[in-house]
């Protein structure tokens, strides 16, 4: 399980880096701040339909990112030992005597 967790963690980091790069490459619709980070490079390399292509790849990478995060959370949950199941057995029981009643 730990090897799978490590492999999925590495894939998550790679996917996150690719997502950041693709998002910065896309052309913005607002103030064109993306030009500062090189959004024109995508159009120069990939052609006129680059924004549609980059958008589709971004959606796919986002879905893969979400899936990897959910799988890692599930594996982490399965790997951890439940704490509350052994708790009642670990609590020491204190024996007390009932107070004597006076007549």
Domain ranges in the chain are 37-82
* pLDDT 10s digits, 75-87: 998 888 665 666 6
CA distance 65 to 57: 12
pLDDT exceeds 50 at position 3: yes
Q: Give pTM, 2 decimals.
A: 0.60
Give the pLDDT of residue 100.
77
pLDDT exceeds 50 at position 31: no
Mean local confidence (pLDDT), 27-35? 58
* pLDDT 10s digits, 54-77: 889 999 999 999 999 999 999 998
Give the contacts of 64 (CB within 8 A, at least 6 positions apart).
15
């Amino acid at each position: 399980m730990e090897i799978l967790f490590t492999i999925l963690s590495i894939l998550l980091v790679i996917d996150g880096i690719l997502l950041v790069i693709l998002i910065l490459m896309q052309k913005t619709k607002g103030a064109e701040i993306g030009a500062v980070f090189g959004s024109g490079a995508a159009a120069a390399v990939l052609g006129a339909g680059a924004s549609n292509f980059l958008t589709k790849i971004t959606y796919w990478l986002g879905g893969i990112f979400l899936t990897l995060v959910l799988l890692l959370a599930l594996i982490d949950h399965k790997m951890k030992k439940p704490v509350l199941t052994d708790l009642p057995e670990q609590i020491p029981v204190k024996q007390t005597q009932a107070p004597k009643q006076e007549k």
